[in-house]
Amino acid sequence: MAKIIPFKAVRPAPDKVGLVSCRMYDDYSPAELAAWLNFNPYSFLHVINPAYANAQRITSDKRFKAVTLKYNDFKNEKIVFQEEKPVFYLYEIQTKTNSFTGIIAGTSIEDYQNDVIKKHEDTLQYRVELFKDYLHQTGFNTEPVLITYPDSTEINTFIAIHKKSKPIYEFSTTNKEKHTLWKIDTETEINLLIDHFASIPNLYIADGHHRSASAELLYEQDKASGNPNLNYFMSFLIAESNVKIYEFNRVVRDLNGHTQEDFIKLVAKNFVITDKQSELFQPKNKYEFGMYLNGNFYALQYKHKESTKGILENLDAQILYDTVLNPILGLEDLRNDERIDYLPGKQSILHMKEMIDEEEFKVGFMLYPSDINEIKLLADNNLIMPPKSTYIEPKFRSGLLIYEL
């Protein structure tokens, strides 16, 4: 049974929330980052990446200490403050195309270790270690793990009723999103939510596998301190029907020594290939792939879907790896090989076309997005998706809520 707890978040002063909260650091181009840091003294970017101009030249230890100092500056200057008592939050994000609503709470390290909270992605140990060190030295985290739960009539009703109350934040951002945050602070409401989630047998990590793994590693390292906050990590809990799953498309820099003609012949062993010429083709169904090569789009229909039996082997990203990326293009380590790169499916296919037309890459592949049932099936069977199989929304804003350790 899933355990959630309220927590004493640190959050921005209401008159500054739109200025403080920011997208995740990696989401900014260098020019955008420079502009925000130069012209917005309240941006949480100042905290998570202080001395950004020297970021490549200072050690992680010095950088983490600088983060801590800047975070304390924000607290001392009353830019952010801490709640007086533990609470839950209800959070809504409205984008141009979607609306997402979920509960922000502390989720249990014990549940994570006992597979009540299930995973579907592998992690890189060096990244887990690095973020664990970050958490240990800075003492806070502002990016919750995105976790899905089975749709619940009771939780949906609770959310609908609570949305009628007055929010503590309501603001818009420069990327045309609207953000609304409500506080859930009465004993009755808190206990009701705890009871609702206690009846749910499993939760599923959608995004944030490295953050949750780092939280577990920190717990194991520092649990002797007796700090109860180490027993939990901040999560954004959202109904599985309310997440938006995009594919990650692939672009590869060369054909691994093959001519175009030979490459297409090798691909045709496993796929029915239809030349779409200049049509901006994207797959519409599972087992269907798109390919862009030398100015032409192609539709690739997998020939062997009836004989594919394994859960992992049925995944489109795995099929592409097993039939094309590994045996033909010679790609083995999809995380670290510099010959391959990944483009979120929410980006226009024209971006991929432009990269290949400008000869930065040689060939591109478009995939059909996985669905939540595929992800859950893999997690339930302790199977791991190939790297960059899914791009999942919503994305949380840094500096909106902070979990102190």
Judge if 239 and 252 occupy the same domain. no
Judge if 291 and 145 occupy the same domain. no
Contact 3, 110 (CB under 8 A): yes
Q: Is residue 54 over pLDDT 80?
A: no
Range of the domain at 96: 4-244+395-404
48: CATH: 3.90.1530.10
Q: Is residue 96 over pLDDT 60?
A: yes
pLDDT recorded at residue 51: 62
| CA nearest neighbour of 179 among 102, 76, 115 | 102
Judge if 128 and 277 occupy the same domain. no
Judge if 178 and 305 occupy the same domain. no
How does pLDDT run across 340-363, given as a tens digit for each residue?
Answer: 999 999 899 999 999 999 999 999
Judge if 207 and 276 occupy the same domain. no
Judge if 216 and 77 occupy the same domain. yes
Contact 99, 93 (CB under 8 A): yes
Q: What total number of domains does the chain contain? A: 2
Judge if 266 and 239 occupy the same domain. no
- How many C-beta atoms lie closer than 10 Å to residue 322's C-beta? 16
pLDDT recorded at residue 365: 98
| CA nearest neighbour of 400 among 139, 91, 117 | 91
Give the separation between CA 334 and CA 326, rounded to whole angstroms.
9
Judge if 271 and 380 occupy the same domain. yes
Tell if the pTM clears 0.85, that is, is over it: yes
Burial class (CB in 10 A: 0-12, 13-18, 19+), 204: buried
Judge if 147 and 81 occupy the same domain. yes
Judge if 349 and 289 occupy the same domain. yes
Q: Is residue 38 over pLDDT 80?
A: yes
Q: Is residue 93 over pLDDT 80?
A: yes
What average pLDDT is seen over the chain? 94
280: CATH: 3.30.1760.10
How does pLDDT run across 299-339, given as a tens digit for each residue?
Answer: 999 998 876 678 899 999 999 999 999 999 999 998 889 99
33-42, 269-278, 387-396: range with highest mean pLDDT: 269-278
How does pLDDT run across 191-207, given as a tens digit for each residue?
Answer: 999 999 999 999 999 99
Judge if 62 and 195 occupy the same domain. yes
Judge if 118 and 74 occupy the same domain. yes
Name the pLDDT band for 268 (thresholds 50, 70, 90).
very high
Burial class (CB in 10 A: 0-12, 13-18, 19+), 289: buried
